[in-house]
């Protein structure tokens, strides 16, 4: 974290961290559909440490573009914040108690192929919300696009989210 004082940017390490993380944002079927074992600008495997496959080229591009957009320390702080975040910490591990008295409507959406935030965890959250008498709906969307599915064209996601927002607008008299 003290690289600024040394005048060195940890570009390679940050790029590798991003490449590794990026694999978890996509599902295995999505990666296979998009890349398979297609070669990158060559007719045969070279058996070198160069990038023979399109997936390698893609991941290297993701790593490099990330280094250009993110400071390594911000990445450290974001990942640490995710590690430390515990919604039930103030209620002695009882997640439902974190929502007692909450008047907000909740829509918990998960994607079947998301490895970062699994459907099982989303259901656990929905159960905790129900246990606190919260107004909650929970839906799992079938998708092979992994964690990034919410960023992509997923008609079922857009339909569920639009329905939830329109319902909330109606309840508040905004529609």
Distance CA 65, CA 19 (A): 11
Confidence of residue 101 (pLDDT cuts 50, 70, 90): very high
Give me the CATH number covering residue 17.
1.10.1740.110
Q: Determine the 3-state secondary structure of 8 from DSSP.
A: coil
Instruction: Note whether 124 and 78 are same-domain residues.
Output: no
Of 175 and 38, the one with more pLDDT: 38
The pLDDT > 70 percentage for the chain reads: 100
pLDDT of residue 23: 86
Distance CA 100, CA 3 (A): 44
Q: How many domains does the chain have?
A: 2
Instruction: Note whether 97 and 152 are same-domain residues.
Output: yes
pLDDT of residue 137: 95
Q: What is the domain extent for residue 65?
A: 3-83
Instruction: Note whether 63 and 47 are same-domain residues.
Output: yes
Domain closes at, from 65, 83, 101: 83
Instruction: Note whether 120 and 56 are same-domain residues.
Output: no
1-10, 76-85, 94-103: least confident range: 1-10
pLDDT of residue 149: 92
Instruction: Note whether 75 and 98 are same-domain residues.
Output: no
């Amino acid at each position: 974290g003290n690289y600024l004082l040394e005048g060195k940017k940890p570009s390679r390490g940050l790029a590798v961290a991003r490449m590794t993380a990026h694999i978890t944002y996509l599902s295995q079927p999505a990666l296979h559909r998009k890349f398979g074992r297609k070669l990158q600008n060559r007719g045969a495997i070279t058996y070198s440490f160069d990038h023979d496959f399109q997936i390698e080229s893609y991941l290297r591009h993701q790593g490099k573009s990330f280094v250009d957009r993110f400071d390594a320390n911000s990445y450290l702080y974001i990942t640490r914040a995710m590690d430390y975040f515990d919604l039930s910490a103030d209620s002695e591990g009882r997640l439902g108690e974190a929502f007692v008295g909450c008047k907000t409507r909740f829509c918990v959406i998960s994607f079947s192929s998301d490895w970062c935030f699994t459907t099982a965890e989303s259901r656990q959250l929905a159960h905790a919300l129900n246990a606190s008498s919260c107004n909650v709906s929970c839906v799992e969307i079938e998708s092979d696009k992994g964690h990034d599915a919410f960023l992509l064209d997923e008609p079922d996601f857009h339909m569920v989210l639009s329905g939830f927002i329109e319902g909330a607008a109606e309840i508040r008299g905004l529609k």
